[in-house]
Amino acid sequence: MRIDDPVHCITTHGIAGLWGMVVVGLFVEKNPLMSKHYGVFKGGSWSVLGVQVLTAVSIVLWTSLTTFVELYAIDKSIGLRVSREKELDGADKWEHGIVLDVNQDMLSETSGETLSNNGIQGRELAMEEI
């Protein structure tokens, strides 16, 4: 799969959320207000874990289906991507008006030292490297 996830949303929210759902089936303790069952590692039934996994799979399927339908509709109506020229020139420039000159020296906020080429010293960045 070719997934464009520059800020790691899938691993941060998706995988962590799925793990949070599954781990309930493993470690939940009997509590009159929250749960009437124990998790697998607390001596409970495997059915508790099965319910949690089934719920997680259902959420993944529902989210995938609705996301596909929404993105398909947007793609067919107004389009999802900028043109190839604008993409190579920089989508931030065309979509948000943000221009960054990679050859401009930048001041590091943490150390106070000057960084050249966004921290990459002594060479030009090619389009394939960005």
Prediction pTM value: 0.61
- The per-residue pLDDT for range 76-94, each reduced to its tens digit, is 999 988 888 888 887 778 8
In a domain, 4, yes or no: no
Q: Looking at the structure, tell me whether residues 35 and 19 fall in a common domain.
A: yes
Q: Looking at the structure, tell me whether residues 98 and 62 fall in a common domain.
A: no
In a domain, 53, yes or no: yes
Q: Looking at the structure, tell me whether residues 21 and 54 fall in a common domain.
A: yes
Can you list the positions of beta strands (E) in the chain?
106-107, 114-115
In this prediction, residue 115 carries a pLDDT of 45
Q: Looking at the structure, tell me whether residues 75 and 35 fall in a common domain.
A: yes
In a domain, 106, yes or no: yes
Report, as an integer, the average pLDDT of 95-101: 73
Q: Looking at the structure, tell me whether residues 27 and 75 fall in a common domain.
A: yes
Give the integer Cα–Cα distance in Å for 15 and 56: 11
Q: Looking at the structure, tell me whether residues 56 and 90 fall in a common domain.
A: no
Task: Provide the residue range defining the domain that includes 98.
Answer: 85-129
In a domain, 31, yes or no: yes
* Whether pLDDT at 70 is above 90: yes
DSSP letter assigned to residue 105: -
Q: Looking at the structure, tell me whether residues 67 and 92 fall in a common domain.
A: no
Give the integer Cα–Cα distance in Å for 29 and 24: 9
Domain count, the chain: 2
Q: Looking at the structure, tell me whether residues 74 and 105 fall in a common domain.
A: no
In a domain, 1, yes or no: no
Q: Give yes or no for a contact between 86 and 97, defined as CB atoms under 8 angstroms apart.
A: no
DSSP letter assigned to residue 104: S
The percentage of the chain sitting over the pLDDT mark of 70, rounded to a whole number, equals 75
* Whether pLDDT at 69 is above 50: yes
Q: Looking at the structure, tell me whether residues 32 and 72 fall in a common domain.
A: yes
Q: Looking at the structure, tell me whether residues 64 and 20 fall in a common domain.
A: yes
* Whether pLDDT at 99 is above 50: yes
Q: Looking at the structure, tell me whether residues 103 and 54 fall in a common domain.
A: no
36 or 124, greater pLDDT: 36
- The per-residue pLDDT for range 25-64, each reduced to its tens digit, is 999 998 878 778 899 999 999 999 999 999 999 999 999 9
